[in-house]
Amino acid sequence: MRKFIAIALCCFFLSCAEKEIKQEIKVNGFAQGTTYHINYISTDGINYERAIDSVLIEIDNSMSTYQKKSIISQFNQADSILEVDPLFMDVFTISKEVYRVSEGAFDPTVAPIVNAWGFGFENTDKTDSATIDSLMQFVGFDKIKNVNNKIIKETKGVMLDFNAIAQGYSVDVLCKMLESNGITDYLVEVGGELRAKGNNINDTLWRVGIDKPMPNLKTRELEAIVNLNNKALATSGNYRKFYKKNGVKYAHTINPKTGYPVQHSLLSATVVADNCALADAYATVFMVVGLEKSKIILNNNKNLQGLLIYSDEKNNLNTFITDGLKDYIELNPNK
């Protein structure tokens, strides 16, 4: 009898040990001039906040233009050549591919033009066609080459700014860190760019909201909710960052091929992809090229899905959704 009880108790404790207790761990903070929010499902209760901070610091040391000693700052100050780290090279390589596919609409060398237009909104009275023309000689990603892990600029004065891809790339690196520690269910967000894997604590897909692209809204209104099925998502828009001069509205997105702010009907571009660096970069591309060219790029690249929100002649909001995203999106959830 005692032997039977002992065996029963042993089986009971083994059963309890085998049954994993899941909990959701949340890590929030500030980095790269913005905020980050990371949620992941854990069975051991380990908080990876210190590891997360280390990853973000490492990326800043490589690609932050606000740090004078970062690799990208050193490159921008150098005359011609600089050896870079693997993080920098990853972003450089991805950027080159998007630059090629977008026919120059994505170009990390556009920084001097962005600064000249005063974003954020300073010294705009000094911006004229002569200024823009003089700076365009420094724009063109083809002016920078990669040779044996060294970045070489063919024109002195050319600078790099990975602002349109760095946050998305940061998300990817953080996801890789979590997965290396056995985390299989997570939602990682940096500056609004995010990536999800697995399910949330309720064992359903992670859900994220897409803002209605209207300026001066007193409260946040959602245009859509996306259920992310092991995908990354990034959104870019011109509805908040703009200024008016002589009655003309200038968006914060600069067309690298012209040197001037874009003017078209596309208000917001949301891109869903396998990794967040690509989603981030293509969201920028779409805000540069506008609605119709964005549709063409989406149609030619089945690895990208998108939600494009645009205004018609009567300033009514309209949406374009790729077929691969329709089963995972809910439009106008506030209605």
Q: Tens digit of pLDDT for each residue in 133-172?
A: 999 999 999 999 998 889 999 888 899 999 999 999 999 9
- Distance of alpha carbon 77 from alpha carbon 47, whole angstroms: 39
Distance separating the N- and C-terminal Cα atoms of the chain = 65
Unique residue bearing structure tokens 């004065």: 157
**Could you report the per-residue pLDDT of 200-222, keeping only the tens digit for each?**
999 999 999 999 887 666 677 89
* pLDDT of 59: 97
Say if residues 167 and 34 touch (Cβ distance below 8 Å): yes
Sign of the C-alpha dihedral, residues 72, 94, 172, 323? positive
Closest C-alpha to 121, from 245, 35, 34: 245
Partnered with residue 122 across adjacent β-strands are none
When pLDDT is cut at 50, 70 and 90, the band that residue 244 belongs to is: low
Half-sphere exposure of 141 (CA within 13 A, CB side): 24
Q: What is the pTM of this model?
A: 0.89
- Distance of alpha carbon 275 from alpha carbon 179, whole angstroms: 14
When pLDDT is cut at 50, 70 and 90, the band that residue 120 belongs to is: very low
Please give the domain boundaries of the chain with CATH numbers for all domains.
66-162 (1.10.3980.10)
Closest C-alpha to 55, from 29, 94, 25, 93: 29
Q: Is the pLDDT assigned to residue 267 strictly greater than 50?
A: yes
DSSP of 263-332:
-SSEEEEEEEESSHHHHHHHHHHHHHH-HHHHHHHHHH-TT-EEEEEEE-TT--EEEEE-GGGGGGEEE-
